[in-house]
Amino acid sequence: MISERKSPHTVRQYIFFARKFEEICGKNLDRIEKSDIDRFKEFLAMEKKYSKSTQYSFIKAIQLYFRSTGITPPRNLTAPKRGRKVPIFLTDTETKRMIEIASRRSRENAIIQMFVYTGIRISELCSLNVEDVDLEERVVLVRSGKGDKDRMVIMSSSCADAVRRYISTRPDAKDGTHALFLSRNGRRLEPTSVQRMVKRIATDAGIEKHVTPHVLRHTFATRILRNGGDIRFIQKLLGHASLSTTEIYTHIDDRMLKEMYSKFMPDY
């Protein structure tokens, strides 16, 4: 996976899945039978009650584990089809409230604004270096994003100002890191720390939804669409390899659906 430039997060996740599979089955891979696979699938669905998406990731990791050892897996090691749920996103009022709460601390303010004004992924945000951000031109170079592709994202003027204020108060970096966002000890900020930060800010803002960095990414895409942004434009901003991934946002724009309904509804 490393040789294929998979992200460190994905590598860690697949290792965890493979170890959990071995733990549940209690056998070497060359002794795994169809009954073991059925029992493991029941464990994922019935005991752990994982979503289809998580079950899919589990099975894909185990399939890769078998391939990497040259062992042919049982034929029933197949992944379930993933459903396409409407993503959670914040209202304008909720988003403004989060920005208001985050504005009390320069680092939190810069991070929240980066999420809601650029649609950047959490892994991409944590991987940013100082030289990747051009505050004058208000552009950010996302290096080796998902799929190992570089792309440019645009910042709003308020987002650029928030990042500029954070840099002016940023602690000294340790171990020679060029990371843009640093922890209190001067090292590159970890995704888990960012997730906890976003959750805490959402709670302080009185938002009852389960808010994650990815919810803020959905919020960004939804707002661009509702403001008339073309779906291919949103695809470029989000860094989606396939347009079909971006098209999920066309299902959540209820305002546009109502306008189209009023325009084209038959008049009997």
pLDDT of residue 2: 86
**Sequential DSSP letters for 14-28:** HHHHHHHHHHHH-S-
Sort 61 into a burial class: Cβ within 10 Å, 0-12 / 13-18 / 19+.
buried
Helix (H, G, I), strand (E, B) or coil at 54: helix
CA dist., res. 209 & res. 93, Å (int):
13
CA dist., res. 113 & res. 233, Å (int):
20
Please indicate whether residue 86 or residue 172 has the higher confidence score (pLDDT). Answer: 172
Annotated catalytic residue, options 188, 217, 218, 223: 217
Amino acid identity, position 108: E
Helix (H, G, I), strand (E, B) or coil at 186: coil
Q: What is the mean pLDDT of residues 2-11?
A: 81
pLDDT of residue 137: 92
Annotated catalytic residue, options 52, 151, 187, 214: 214
Q: Mark whether 210 is an active-site residue.
A: no
Please indicate whether residue 74 or residue 262 has the higher confidence score (pLDDT). Answer: 74
Q: Which two tokens stand for residue 73?
A: 């897996």
Residue 100 has pLDDT above 60, yes or no: yes
pLDDT of residue 268: 64
Tens digit of pLDDT for each residue in 64-73?
Answer: 999 999 999 9
Q: Mark whether 178 is an active-site residue.
A: no
Please indicate whether residue 188 or residue 254 has the higher confidence score (pLDDT). Answer: 188
The pTM of this model reads 0.69
Q: What residues form DSSP beta bridges with 139?
A: 134, 154
HSE-up of residue 96 (Cα within 13 Å, Cβ side): 3
Q: Mark whether 249 is an active-site residue.
A: yes
| Strand ranges (E), 94-240 | 133-134, 139-142, 151-154
pLDDT of residue 86: 66
From the list 196, 223, 193, the residue with the least C-alpha distance to 211 is: 196
Annotated catalytic residue, options 20, 105, 146, 200: 146
Amino acid identity, position 144: S
Mean model confidence pLDDT for the chain: 86
pLDDT of residue 238: 79
Percent of the chain with pLDDT over 90: 55
pLDDT of residue 9: 75
Q: Mark whether 146 is an active-site residue.
A: yes
Is the CB of residue 104 less than 8 Å from the CB of residue 204? no
Annotated catalytic residue, options 121, 170, 188, 223: 121
CATH 1.10.443.10-classified regions of the chain: 92-258
Tens digit of pLDDT for each residue in 201-259?
Answer: 999 999 999 999 999 988 888 888 777 777 777 777 777 766 666 666 665 555 555 66
What is the fold of 92-258? hpI Integrase; Chain A (1.10.443)
pLDDT of residue 59: 94
Q: Mark whether 82 is an active-site residue.
A: no
Tens digit of pLDDT for each residue in 111-170?
Answer: 999 999 998 989 899 999 999 999 999 999 988 655 557 888 889 999 999 999 999 998
Residue 84 has pLDDT above 80, yes or no: no
